[in-house]
Amino acid sequence: AAGVIQSPRHLIKEKRETATLKCYPIPRHDTVYWYQQGPGQDPQFLISFYEKMQSDKGSIPDRFSAQQFSDYHSELNMSSLELGDSALYFCASRQTGGEFGEQYFGPGTRLTVT
């Protein structure tokens, strides 16, 4: 079965650089969620989109922005990167109207800021 695709899988950036993470949801899934997971920590919700509109916002820094496109893929843009931004970034997708509406996670992008 098709899964959530994230690219790139690994990314190394220097402080103050920018990064763009991409997420391609499972076909027919219309909602995308972004999570950040620091080393040894639980995933923290950043932001979500439903039908290309921002649906919820969590602990996302002002330096970050995201959007969902007409094909439902989403991009997380990160600027002025800091060392503390080093983490795993997960995208999850969901199909509204499902029985329970569970979220399916992608493999993640490991961002390392040096």
* Binding region for other proteins (CB under 8 A): 4, 31, 33, 35, 41-45, 48, 55-56, 58, 90, 92, 94, 100-108, 110
Name the minimum Å distance from CB 111 to other proteins.
14
Name the minimum Å distance from CB 16 to other proteins.
27
Comparison of 84 and 100: residue with beta carbon closer to other proteins: 100
**64-70 CB contacts, 8 Å cutoff, 24+ apart:** 66/34, 68/32
Comparison of 25 and 43: residue with beta carbon closer to other proteins: 43
Cβ-Cβ contacts under 8 Å for 100 (sequence gap 6 or more): none
Comparison of 65 and 95: residue with beta carbon closer to other proteins: 95
| End-to-end CA gap in the chain | 36
What three-state secondary structure class fits 106? coil
CA atoms within 13 A on the CB side of 72: 19
Q: How many helices (H) and strands (E) does the chain have?
A: 0, 11
Name the minimum Å distance from CB 37 to other proteins.
9
Comparison of 22 and 110: residue with beta carbon closer to other proteins: 110
